[in-house]
Structure 1
Amino acid sequence: MTAKIILNPYAGRWKAQAAIPDIERACKELGLDYELVVTEGPGHGIELAREALLAGYSPIVAAGGDGSISEVVNGMLAATSGRRPEVPLGIIPLGSADDLADQLGLPKDIVAACRVILEGCERLIDLGRVNGRYFDNNSAVGLEPMVTVTQERMQRVKGTPRYVLAAVRTILVHRPWRMRLVWDDGEYEGETTLVSVGNMRRTGGAFYMTPRAEPDDGLLDFVFAGGMGRLRLLRLLPTTFDGSHIDQPEVRYARTTRLTIECDPPTPIQADGELFDRSATRIVYEVIPSALRVLVPSPAP
Structure 2
Amino acid sequence: MTAPKALLILHGKQATNADVREAVELQRELGWDLAVRVTWEPGDTARLVDEALAAGYRTLIAGGGDGTLREVVQALLAAGSDASLALLPLGTANDFARAAGIPLVSGEALALLDEPPVAIDVGQMNGEPFVNMATGGFGSRVTASTSEELKRVLGGGAYLLTGLTRFAEIGSAHGRFQGPGFDWEGDFLAFGVGNGRQAGGGQLLCPQALVDDGLLDVCIVPAPEDTVGTLGTLLSGGLLGVETVSVSARVAWLDIEAPQPIDVNLDGEPALGEQLHFDVLGKALRMHLPGDSPLRGGATAPGTDADPKSARGR
TM-score class, shorter-chain normalisation, is 0.7 to 0.9
Contact 1:126 1:288 in 2 (8 A): yes
Is the 8 Å Cα contact of residues 144 and 194 (structure 1) preserved in structure 2?
yes
Contact 1:239 1:245 in 2 (8 A): no
Is residue 96–residue 197 contact of structure 2 (8 Å, CA) maintained in 1?
no
Query: When the two structures are aligned, how many residues end up with a matched partner?
Result: 287
Provide the C-alpha distance between the structure 1 equivalents of 2:197 and 2:238, rounded to a whole number of angstroms.
11
Gaps of 5+ in 2: 293-314
Q: Distance in 1 between matches of 2:42 and 2:95?
A: 20
Cα 1:105/1:141, change in 2 over 3 Å: same
Find the partner of 2:86 among 79, 85, 90. Answer: 90
Query: Residue 11 of structure 2 is aligned with which of 4, 8, 12?
Result: 8
Say whether 1:125 aligns with 2:120.
yes
Match of 2:131 among 113, 116, 136: 136
- Decide whether the 8 Å contact of 2:233 with 2:241 is kept in 1: no
Q: Bigger CA drift: 130-139 or 238-247?
A: 238-247
Pick from 263, 272, 294: which aligns with 2:287? 294
**Deviation digits for residues 78-117 of structure 1, max 9, x if unmatched?**
111xxxx421101212222222222332222222222221
Aligned equivalents of 1:152 and 1:242: distance in 2? 28
Change over 3 Å in CA distance of 1:135–1:198 after alignment to 2: same
Query: Partner of 1:31 in structure 2?
Result: 31
SS in 2 for 1:213: coil
Match status 1:224 vs 2:216? no
Residue range with higher mean Cα deviation, 140-149 or 20-29? 20-29
Q: CA deviation at 1:18?
A: 4.2
Render the CA deviation track for 1:12-46: whole Å, top value 9, x for unaligned.
xx587444422432232122112211111344323
Identity %: 31
- Please name the residue that 2:208 is paired with: 212
Indicate if the aligned counterparts of 1:208 and 1:243 stay in contact, CA closer than 8 A: no
CA distance in 2, matches of 1:55, 1:15: 22
The one-letter code sitting in structure 1 at the alignment partner of 2:101 is: G
Aligned to 1:105: 101
Separation in 2, partners of 1:243, 1:125:
29
* Closer/same/farther in 2, CA of residues 152 and 264 from structure 1, 3 Å limit: farther
Contact 1:30 1:115 in 2 (8 A): no
Contact 1:8 1:16 in 2 (8 A): no
In the TM superposition, what is the alpha-carbon distance from 1:153 to its structure 2 partner?
Answer: 6.6
1:185 aligns with 2:188: no
CA contact (8 A) 1:9 1:17 kept: no
Change in 2 beyond 3 A, CA 1:139/1:27 = same
Among residues 230, 233, 237, which one is paired with 1:233 in the alignment? 230
Match for residue 161 of structure 2? 165
Deviation at 1:66, TM superposition (A): 1.5
Q: Which moved more, 1:136-145 or 1:146-155?
A: 146-155
Q: Find the residue that maps to 1:6 and give its secondary structure.
A: strand
Alignment of 1:55-66 (within 5 A): 55-66=55-66
Measured on the aligned residues, the alpha-carbon RMSD in Å equals 2.4
TM-score, normalised via structure 1 length? 0.86
The aligned counterpart of 2:301 is none
Q: Please say if residues 144 and 196 of structure 1, whose CA atoms lie closer than 8 Å, have aligned partners that are also in contact.
A: no
In the alignment, residue 229 of structure 2 is paired with which amino acid? R
Aligned residue in 2 for 1:150? 145
Q: Specify the alignment match of 1:45 in structure 2.
A: 45
Residues 267-289 of structure 1, C-alpha deviations (whole Å, 9 max, x = no match):
222111232x2x31111111121
In the TM superposition, residue 298 of structure 1 has moved relative to its aligned partner by 5.3
Deviation per CA, 1:186-238: give whole Å up to 9, x if none: 22222222111111212233210111111111110011122234323334325
Displacement of 1:60 in angstroms is: 1.0
- 1:176 and 2:179 are equivalent in the alignment: no
Cα distance in structure 1, aligned partners of 2:125 and 2:55: 28
